């Protein structure tokens, strides 16, 4: 007697024994995670799945077999009797139920992963999804003579396969991992799958839980190559325009393009700007807007910022004003952008009067912080990013002690240290942004993120944004000055200025004005600070410290104390 497929019973038989020699012991996957294989008919999901399950010591299940057992009908009979929609609904229920249970290796039907509810159920269950790819000649040969595939009955197999690839590949791209099997035997593909799974680390996802337009910061390695699958659930369409600088585009543009195209994205434009702070100006904003709109961007087109803080600020401002607002994605490739500017929605350009004086709050739909991209940074750029990490450490408290202990290792390129720095910096910033999205708090709030920045922005402006002083380097000097000013005014212990400057010097950053390669006028710097956007009623405002984790904002700072500090620290 057949059962109703809408409420299938799911059995979990013992794992099938592999046909070859006894399996080599392998490291099991993380506890509690099922391995779910997705891909086209004929990709070898069942053959690889059985072998993989044996190697990992997990039960193996085939979704089609489970559906047939539950319904008392073959897949072909279900299609013929009830139609594809009924089959897909039952398939989704079966897969969701299996994924919510004990860990297994599960081979799914070719169309299963196309259903957004199935993909969501697998994500929520924490399953690891693996896409097995094969080209048309391999698939065509493997499905030849199989009569249990309803989509191929009475039709040209190659034509069907091409159509299925076009329709399904953008969804397969959302899988956690992908491997190519080609002409390989199932045994070889199984070994490749095992290595991919056991060597994989799930990207961290940090929520920026704003009351309106919440989004995630995704932190991990290899995200550029998976951009299409990672972005598609968060965007209104698969139409995008990419804005980058010439250096970053040469390094990472092809990887991003391939990742987007694999996810079925239509890249309307790839706009590049000259690298450096000089591109954050109104003339460049206009040029970006002209190119994006000339390429046919509409209100469903997302602008992607690929690069550092300059590109993120410029592209974000373009997204905020183009057609009165376009969706926006941040893909930061520098440490400074990953830990700071990509999160929070601040966008803008510089004016002659000062930094970031024209801009808008425009939150991204998602931030992809690919820590693998940090390996291409020049050493000076990597160090400059640490200026913001150190700032976050001083704001958070325990993170500062970690910075002192692990900063040198991070600056030597240690991937785990860099990942931790990005993750914890984003965690801190996300929490602050949620509490004070538009920087309207009278005291504290988002303004605390400007620790050291009143000094830093003045130094940058005096340099004319010509590249002789990077933003993170200016922030580092600003942190030392903020700590020194705090101590002079009696807010913190006298040890703090030395402690902050010692750490900055240990990671290769300038710690005081006298460390910089040019002379600054104290009078000119104070003039710049009086034009800072944080000035209220003519009074300069500073973020000062009582200790790590104890920052506060104040306007109660005598100008003569600031001038004396600047002169003592090396200003003329």
Q: For residue 397, say whether it is annotated as part of any ligand binding site.
A: no
* Total number of residues shown for the chain: 572
Q: Measuring CA to CA, which residue among 87, 49, 92 is closest to residue 71?
A: 87
Q: For residue 276, say whether it is annotated as part of any ligand binding site.
A: no
Q: Please enumerate, as own/partner, the contacts of 192-201 that have beta carbons within 8 Å and a separation of 24 or more.
A: 193/37, 193/48, 193/52, 193/130, 193/132, 194/26, 194/52, 194/55, 194/56, 196/130, 197/29, 197/35, 197/128, 197/130, 198/26, 198/27, 198/29, 200/128, 200/176
Burial class, 67, CB count within 10 angstroms (exposed 0-12 / middle 13-18 / buried 19+): buried
Q: Are strands 354-361 and 346-351 parallel, antiparallel or unpaired?
A: antiparallel
Q: What pairs with residue 124 in β-bridges?
A: none
CA distances from 490 to 308, 376, 494 (A): 37, 43, 8
Q: For residue 346, say whether it is annotated as part of any ligand binding site.
A: yes
Q: For residue 365, say whether it is annotated as part of any ligand binding site.
A: no
Q: For residue 427, say whether it is annotated as part of any ligand binding site.
A: no
Q: Measuring CA to CA, which residue among 402, 407, 404, 369 is closest to residue 386?
A: 407
Q: For residue 253, say whether it is annotated as part of any ligand binding site.
A: no
Q: For residue 44, say whether it is annotated as part of any ligand binding site.
A: yes
Q: For residue 429, say whether it is annotated as part of any ligand binding site.
A: no
Q: For residue 548, say whether it is annotated as part of any ligand binding site.
A: no
Q: For residue 46, say whether it is annotated as part of any ligand binding site.
A: yes
Q: For residue 88, say whether it is annotated as part of any ligand binding site.
A: yes
Question: What is the spatial order of strands in the sheet that 35-38 belongs to?
Answer: 60-62, 105-107, 35-38, 128-133, 177-180
Q: For residue 388, say whether it is annotated as part of any ligand binding site.
A: yes
The DSSP H or E segment spanning 523 is helix 522-529
Contact of 497 with 487, CB cutoff 8 Å:
yes
CA distances from 520 to 27, 55, 127, 535 (A): 59, 66, 57, 21
Query: What is the rounded end-to-end Cα distance, in angstroms, of the chain?
Result: 93
Q: For residue 45, say whether it is annotated as part of any ligand binding site.
A: yes
Q: For residue 471, say whether it is annotated as part of any ligand binding site.
A: yes
Q: For residue 17, say whether it is annotated as part of any ligand binding site.
A: no
Q: What pairs with residue 331 in β-bridges?
A: 306
Q: Measuring CA to CA, which residue among 240, 274, 275 is closest to residue 256?
A: 240
| Residue 211 in tokens | 């009351």
* Residue-wise DSSP of 285-343: HHHHHHHHHHTT--TTPEEEEEESHHHHHHHHHHHHHGGG---EEEEE-SHHIIIIITS
List, as residue ranges, the binding site for NAD(+): 309-313, 333-334, 346, 355
List, as residue ranges, the binding site for ATP: 42-47, 149
List, as residue ranges, the binding site for Mg(2+): 46
List, as residue ranges, the binding site for Zn(2+): 388, 453, 471
List, as residue ranges, the binding site for substrate: 64, 88, 110, 168
List, as residue ranges, the binding site: 42-47, 64, 88, 110, 149, 168, 309-313, 333-334, 346, 355, 388, 453, 471
């Amino acid at each position: 007697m057949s059962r109703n497929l809408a409420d299938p019973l799911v059995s979990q038989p013992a794992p099938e024994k592999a046909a070859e020699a006894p399996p080599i012991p392998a490291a099991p996957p993380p506890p509690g995670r099922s391995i779910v294989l997705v891909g086209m008919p004929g990709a070898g999901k069942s053959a690889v799945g059985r072998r993989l399950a044996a190697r990992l010591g997990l039960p193996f299940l085939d979704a089609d077999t489970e559906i047939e057992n539950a319904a008392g009908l073959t897949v072909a009979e279900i299609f013929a009797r009830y139609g594809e929609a009924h089959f897909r609904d039952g398939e989704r229920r079966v897969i969701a139920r299996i994924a919510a249970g004990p860990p297994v290796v599960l081979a799914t039907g070719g169309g299963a992963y196309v259903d957004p509810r199935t993909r969501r159920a697998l994500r929520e269950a924490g399953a690891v999804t693996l896409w097995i790819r094969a080209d048309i000649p391999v698939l065509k040969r493997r499905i030849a003579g199989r009569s249990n595939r309803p989509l191929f009955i009475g039709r040209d197999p190659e034509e069907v396969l091409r159509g299925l690839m076009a329709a399904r590949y953008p969804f397969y791209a959302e899988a956690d991992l992908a491997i190519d099997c080609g002409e390989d035997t199932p045994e070889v593909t199984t070994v490749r799958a095992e290595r991919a799974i056991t060597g994989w680390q799930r990207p961290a996802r940090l929520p920026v839980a704003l009351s309106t337009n919440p989004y995630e910061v995704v932190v991990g390695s290899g995200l550029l190559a998976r951009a299409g699958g990672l972005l598609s659930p968060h965007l209104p369409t698969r139409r995008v325009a990419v804005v980058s600088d010439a250096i970053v585009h040469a390094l990472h543009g092809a990887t991003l393009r391939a990742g987007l195209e694999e996810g079925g994205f239509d890249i309307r434009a790839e706009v590049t700007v000259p690298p450096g702070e000089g591109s954050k100006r109104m003339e460049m904003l206009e040029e970006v807007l002209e190119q994006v709109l000339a390429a046919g961007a509409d209100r469903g087109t997302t602008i992607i910022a690929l690069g550092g803080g300059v590109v993120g600020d410029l592209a974000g401002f373009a997204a905020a004003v183009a057609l009165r607002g376009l969706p926006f994605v941040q893909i930061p490739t520098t440490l400074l952008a990953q830990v700071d500017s990509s999160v929070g929605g601040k966008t803008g350009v510089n004016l002659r009067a000062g930094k970031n004086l024209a801009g808008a709050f425009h939150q991204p739909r998602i931030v992809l912080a690919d820590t693998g991209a940090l390996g291409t940074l020049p050493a000076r750029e990597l160090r400059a990013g640490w200026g913001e990490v150190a700032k976050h450490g001083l704001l958070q408290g325990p993170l500062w002690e970690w910075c002192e202990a692990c900063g040198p290792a991070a600056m030597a390129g240690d991937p785990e240290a860099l990942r931790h720095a990005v993750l914890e910096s984003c965690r801190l910033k996300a929490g602050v942004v949620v509490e004070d999205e538009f920087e309207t708090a009278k005291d504290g709030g988002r303004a605390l993120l400007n620790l050291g920045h009143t000094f830093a922005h003045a130094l940058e402006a005096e340099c004319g944004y010509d590249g002789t002083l990077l933003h993170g380097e200016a922030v580092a000097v600003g942190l030392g000055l903020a700590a020194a000013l705090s101590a002079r005014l009696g807010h913190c212990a006298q040890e703090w200025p030395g402690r902050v400057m010692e750490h900055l010097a240990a990671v290769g950053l300038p710690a005081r004005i006298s460390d910089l390669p040019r002379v600054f006028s104290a009078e000119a710097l104070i003039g710049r600070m009086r034009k800072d956007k944080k000035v209220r009623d003519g009074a300069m405002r500073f973020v000062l410290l009582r200790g790590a984790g104890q920052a506060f904002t104040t306007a109660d700072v005598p100008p003569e104390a600031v001038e004396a500090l600047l002169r003592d620290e090396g200003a003329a």
